Amino acid sequence: MLTKVYGSAVFGVEATTITVEVNVDTGIGYHLVGLPDNAIKESNYRIAAALQNNGYRIPGKKLILNMSPADLRKEGSAYDLTLAMGILIATAQIDSKYPIAEYIIMGELSLDGSLQPIRGALPIAIKAKQEGFKAFILPKQNAKEAAIVEGIDVFGVDSIKEVIDFFSEGIALEQTLVDMEAEFYQHLVNPEFDFCDVKGQESIKRCMEIAAAGGHNIILIGPPGSGKTMLAKRLPSILPPMTLQESLETTKIHSVAGRTIEKGGIMTSRPFRSPHHTISDVALVGGGTYPQPGEISLAHNGVLFLDELPEFKRGVLEVMRQPLEDRDVTISRAKFTVTYPSSFMLVASMNPSPSGYFNDPDAPMTSSPQEMQRYLGKVSGPLLDRIDIHIEVTPVPFDKLSDERKGESSILIRERVTKARLLQAERFISSEKIHYNAQMGVKQIRKYCELDTSSLSLLKNAMERLNLSARAYDRILKVARTIADLEASETINGAHISEAIQYRSLDRDGWFG
């Protein structure tokens, strides 16, 4: 008897439907084909124990199980439940009351028949809906995430016994229902980290507001204890709330990486990723034998914070250059290629010298010019060129630290940022891939960043004096455009250009010689 059961495989952030064909023939043997990895090859032991502990068995007949398309590599243990149900129906141990071909069935089996969570539930549910499947049966831990997708029934189960009883006895499964919009707006609460907690640093807060308004990358340079990390952690609190589309994109990536199991449902807050400086290039940009998303993709639609930037391996930082420009990362293997989105805001911090202090006569220790040159040389010029805003952070004096008055809250700053973003969204409404100023290409810069004669002269003098690159020129125009948007100004004037030029600290004399 031949039976077909359906599962799904995830490549990148997209799913592909997998047909599991189970054929029973005369003879003895268990043959699993269709390019399964070791985790799937070992499934027969888990399936045999789970069936035996629930009153069923793998019969002593010749079983051929084919995972189609057979030329596509399958990985992971999520096919256990799919294979087990195919075996039960093909060997006539159960008589299904429902057409099993209308269901996507996924789940990892424990030896007692209980189910363990899987990865990629959201992209699988989206694909199942697109291909017209009636329902999706999966472990209960993943049900809320999959139920975000409207138009397909989602049943979360705890064990294989529930699935068997559903198909053989018609015992109803409990459908998981989620009101996506209610779930989304319910979690738009006050931020955990608020800018009102930051004492002083008004100029730095202004920088962070500009960066958030235009989606600009930013680097903070200052001695230890000046508040760089504290400021960076509060940046997501002033970014505009995620749209439903952004939430789905972000949830898909975290689902593929298996990071949505504990939270469940849709991600409503912008991600903040802060990898340690010992991270490898594969962990940062993604990859592996079976490519997984890296930190830059997990930070999609959010913030990637690199603390102590010069301490990162130079090779690790260099592989970020292309994703910073293209806002996605493509990982190629011999037989396939996957692309992960990586549209994130980069926030980096660094000390101005190995000792942490620069040109400070009261510093406990200082560094020689040679040591400073070697330290700053760990970060390449091309990478710094891709960072729009460079700003020096100075220590906060005692009188401001002891001031009991609170600063401006993140909610008020976010309102101004959101208004600026709305202007940009209207400006780029005809551009599919451009949503805010930092994403502008040369064509958009020439169109939307026109300067009058005095502003052009001011910028020319700055370019010649600071010896700025062509990329830095574009960065200054983008930042000036954002400053103008915060003031709701249609044109860029000299004051906007002057402020934007100030945010190129690492281009000044005294840093790189």
Question: How confident is the model over 277-297, as a mean pLDDT?
Answer: 91
Contacts of 332 (CB under 8 A, 6+ apart): none
Buried b (16+ CB within 10 A) or exposed e, 286-304: bbeeebbbbbbbbbbbbbb
Q: What is the DSSP string of 84-121?
A: HHHHHHHTTSS--SS-GGGEEE--EEPTTSBEE--S-H
**What per-residue string of b and e applies to 35-46 under the rule 16 or more CB within 10 Å gives b?**
ebeebbeebbeb
Burial tier of 132 (Cβ tally within 10 Å: 0-12, 13-18, 19+): exposed
Q: Does 265 or 80 have the greater pLDDT score?
A: 80
pLDDT of 290 over the 90 cut: no
Residues 249, 301: Cα–Cα separation, whole Å: 8
pLDDT in tens, 441-476: 889 999 999 998 999 999 999 888 877 777 788 889
**pLDDT band for position 509 (50/70/90)?**
very low
The whole-number pLDDT of residue 363 equals: 60
Which ranges of 294-362 does DSSP label H, i.e. alpha helix? 295-298, 314-318, 321-326
Confidence of residue 507 (pLDDT cuts 50, 70, 90): low
Residue 184 has pLDDT above 70, yes or no: no
Instruction: Strands of 307-414 (E only): list them.
Output: 328-332, 337-341, 345-350, 389-392
Is pTM, for the whole model, over 0.85? yes
> Treating both helix axes as pointing N-terminal to C-terminal, what angle do 80-90 and 43-52 enclose, rounded to 10 degrees?
60
Judge whether residue 374 has pLDDT over 80. no
Give the 3-state secondary structure of residue 382. helix
Alpha carbon distance 160, 85 (integer Å): 9
The whole-angstrom separation of Cα 60 and Cα 242 is 55
Burial of 281: CB neighbours in 10 Å, binned 0-12, 13-18, 19+: middle
Q: Read off the DSSP letter of residue 171.
A: P
φ/ψ (deg, to 5) at 420: -65, -40
Which residues touch 26 (CB under 8 Å, ≥6 apart)? 61, 62
Say yes or no to pLDDT of 378 above 60.
yes
Percent of the chain topping pLDDT 90: 60
Distance, in Å, from the CA atom of 99 to the CA atom of 59, rounded to the nearest integer, reads: 23
Query: Which of residues 417 and 1 earns the better pLDDT score?
Result: 417
Query: Would you say residue 241 has pLDDT above 60?
Result: yes
- DSSP state for residue 149 in the 8-state scheme: S
Q: What CA–CA distance (Å, rounded) separates 397 from 202? A: 13
Q: What are phi and psi of 51, to 5 degrees?
A: -65, -45
Among 223-237, 314-328, 335-349, 466-480, the least confident range: 466-480
CA distance 87 to 62: 11
Identify whether the C-beta of residue 109 lies closer than 8 Å to the C-beta of residue 160.
yes
Query: Given a cut of 80, is residue 371 above it in pLDDT?
Result: no
Give the number of residues written for the chain: 513
142 within 8 A of 71, measured Cβ to Cβ: no
Q: What is the mean pLDDT of the chain?
A: 88
For residue 357, the model assigns a pLDDT of 64
For the CA atoms of 307, 311, 315, 318, the dihedral, rounded to the nearest 10 degrees, stands at 40
